[in-house]
Structure 1
Amino acid sequence: MICHHRPSLPKINLCNRILNACKKLSCISATKVHGHESPAVGGKRICGSSRGWLIVADKTSAITLENPLRGLKIQLPPFCPAAGKQELVHKAILSSDPETQEQDYSVMIIYGENRELARYDSGNKTWTMLQEAGSFYDDIISHKINFYAVDGYGRVVRCEKSNVKEIAGPWFFKGNRVYLVVIEEQLSLIIRHWKNNPVSGQKITHKFEVYDLDGPENWVHTDLDGWSVFVGQNQSLAVRVAGSNILKGNCIYFTDDNGDLHKNSITDGRDQGVFDVEDETISSLRCYLQDFPPRGVWPQSIWLEK
């Protein structure tokens, strides 16, 4: 299932039924799924979205780029960190649109049991393992010509080709997953907090916190000040909502990217919604309300930037 904004808005969101060959488009403001088919990915796992593309990996870690709105597909060379070894790709993003920058785009991934970083460059068609970056990463984004990554301790690095530079050291915070997002050239950190669902016993989101980076050792607690932020398996993105009658400012729109914990549980995809930073309340995404029953299987979802 793909959910998207009206064409006048700069961003769309995409919800896909992972490991299912059929996905549908639905407006984020709608209460019923409708619309178009996206390309089948049968048996593969969508591990990221960026620049309007899905990054899809199969069980052998072979990675394919698919653009569901333009019907395009690009097969990347095999990702093989060690001979005969298969690694789970946790998350993947693009530096730029491969259709317009065919020989000058890169793919960054978080992979393996230790959640390390690797990079593919289209110019030389090679994968580079960024072992000097360390491990246990939660999120990656691209901004201008560089990639940025944050680990589970809040440490942020900037990846310039094969060079990795720490721009913010680890710090103590209470939270379960961290995301990076750029809002008006400001690098911000989104911290996601889970709690146990007393009914299912699984982890669900109960709040977020937002921090701006003010120097290499100083994160300042803040709000979103008229912006909406979209987080999940996608590259995190921010949308200014001034003049929009669809989005609400100072809110975080989130989908379930906790597949490592859920595995094949019937509650996959249920941890989604809209978090209001000001009053710390969560409401459901409207495009889910009528099409997916309170009980049963919900599709995992992923936002897509147009």
Structure 2
Amino acid sequence: MRKVDWSNLDCYPLSLVLDELEEHIDHVRFGVVCKSCLSIAKLNHKNHQFRIDVPPMLMILSNKLSRKRAKSKRKMKSLYSIPSAKEYPIQLSHPSIIKSKTCLGCSHGWLALVDKNNAITLVNPFKSSIAPISLPHLESLNKVTLSADPITSPSDYVVAAIYNFGSLAFKRASQSFWIRADTNEFSFTNVVFYEGLVFADSEQDFIVSFKLNNPPCDDSIDLNFTYLEKIAITPYFCPEEYYYGNTYFVKSLTGDTWMVKRCLIDPHNLTYKLYVFKMEMDAQSGKVEQIKKLESLENNILFVGIGDSISVSAACFSKFEKDSIYFIYDGDEDDLELQIYNAKDGSYRSQSLPISFKRMLHLWVDPNFNGIDLFIFTLGYFDPIVTVD
């Protein structure tokens, strides 16, 4: 039998192999097989010939340092693939990541980091050539959400922040100060942007809408200008009473805004139920015209948790369960699970996670390696080897 020289395969069969890889992180691994594979991977990314639909991954944030590289003082992190149940250790050496005390979510690919001095920094961990964004201080920051990706909308994005256990503030890209919502009757838990407006959910089961006005000058505070207007307040009702609830906003595949409510029904047995509501909003009036409970997720699979929630197509990923919502359950010391909730029949299924994930922060991320550094696995870490424009 003739011996095949795998390192010198033609471009066409290599491209066929690359096209079958669903996860972008496998594109990285493909690129380190040989020089020919690396060349095809670079060309593929340069021409944007990659899958648009990619499954989200769990980013696991840890404060532990590598024993082999302890002197480098780089925080250990990893990406975890749900379909393949594999963990990919990575190292991110950006100074803001090294100094961070905690992460308050991921929005449009940007991590919201807070250091021991409570300085707030936005960092895109998958695009090392992009400079971080420093934000003004806020007391007791809880969550950060972006209206758009600062890379594609460098002057048009807005930052929304929940701070001080339920207060709300906003910051435009060109402003150096926070615009604080002057409302004491609500304690906000989450926000979503919709056609220039902001809709915020409160612990009191109200959706409050706000309008951000364009100021005449962005570089200083004008005390006579109305930066923010509260437009409308819409109550909503869960199908049954609950003791505590987490709210997650997610954009469906058709562009609709959905609200996922995870409610604690029985505190003694720790019984939770999840409800999904479709929000029909009017951008002209700022009102939520209808909040309708959904009995099915249609073609959507949802991933909710800290940071922005993600929706992917069930038709593209057979390894994920249709009509399901994926989230992390962190119970007692020995209980760390990926829980899968079926929105159609209300059932739960659990999938165990590596015990090494315990006491770490878990974020759903879309590891889009489009036009970024290609990495190579060396001793279990990512090391940048080439930049693709």
Same fold per superposition (TM over 0.5):
yes
Query: Quick check: 1:278 aligned with 2:347?
Result: no
Q: TM (normalized to structure 1)?
A: 0.78
Contact 1:49 1:233 in 2 (8 A): yes
Rounded Cα–Cα distance in structure 2 between residues aligned with 1:18 and 1:91: 19
Match of 2:247 in 1: 178
Rounded Cα–Cα distance in structure 2 between residues aligned with 1:67 and 1:197: 41
**Of 130, 145, 157, which aligns to 1:93?**
145
- Compared with structure 1, are the counterparts of its residues 124 and 171 closer, same or farther at alpha carbon in structure 2 (3 Å cutoff)? same
Per-residue deviation at 1:182? 2.8
Deviations 1:16-69 (A, max 9, x none): 225452101222212231253345445511101111111112344321111111
Q: Give aligned pairs, total.
A: 278
Match of 1:132 in 2: 183
Query: Quick check: 1:190 aligned with 2:270?
Result: no
Which one has more relative contact order, counting CA pairs under 8 Å at least 6 apart?
1
Rounded Cα–Cα distance in structure 1 between residues aligned with 2:121 and 2:268: 35
Structure (1 or 2) with the larger CA radius of gyration: 2
Query: Quick check: 1:79 aligned with 2:137?
Result: yes
Rounded Cα–Cα distance in structure 2 between residues aligned with 1:26 and 1:271: 13
Unaligned runs of 5+ in 2: 1-21, 25-50, 65-74, 213-227, 282-287, 369-389
* Matched AA of 1:300: L
- Compared with structure 1, are the counterparts of its residues 181 and 102 closer, same or farther at alpha carbon in structure 2 (3 Å cutoff)? same
Contact 2:100 2:113 in 1 (8 A): no
Q: TM (normalized to structure 2)?
A: 0.63
Rounded Cα–Cα distance in structure 2 between residues aligned with 1:142 and 1:151: 15
Q: After the TM superposition, which residues 1-306 of structure 1 pair with which residues of structure 2 at under 5 Å, given as runs?
A: 6-7=23-24, 8=51, 9-10=53-54, 12-17=56-61, 19-20=63-64, 21-39=75-93, 40-71=97-128, 72-80=130-138, 87-113=139-165, 115-132=166-183, 134-161=185-212, 162-166=228-232, 168-171=234-237, 174-175=241-242, 176-183=245-252, 184-194=254-264, 196=267, 206-213=272-279, 216=288, 218-222=290-294, 223-255=296-328, 266=333, 270=336, 272-285=338-351, 288=353, 291-292=354-355, 297-305=358-366, 306=368
Contact 1:25 1:34 in 2 (8 A): yes
Deviations 1:193-216 (A, max 9, x none): 235586xxxxx6733111223574
Rounded Cα–Cα distance in structure 2 between residues aligned with 1:278 and 1:238: 16
SS in 1 for 2:76: coil
* Matched AA of 2:23: R
Rounded Cα–Cα distance in structure 1 between residues aligned with 2:59 and 2:23: 15
* Matched AA of 1:13: M
* Matched AA of 2:121: T
Per-residue deviation at 1:250? 0.9
Alpha-carbon RMSD across the aligned residues, in angstroms, is 3.0
Per-residue deviation at 1:217? 6.7
Rounded Cα–Cα distance in structure 1 between residues aligned with 2:86 and 2:210: 41
Contact 2:259 2:276 in 1 (8 A): yes
Rounded Cα–Cα distance in structure 1 between residues aligned with 2:116 and 2:338: 26
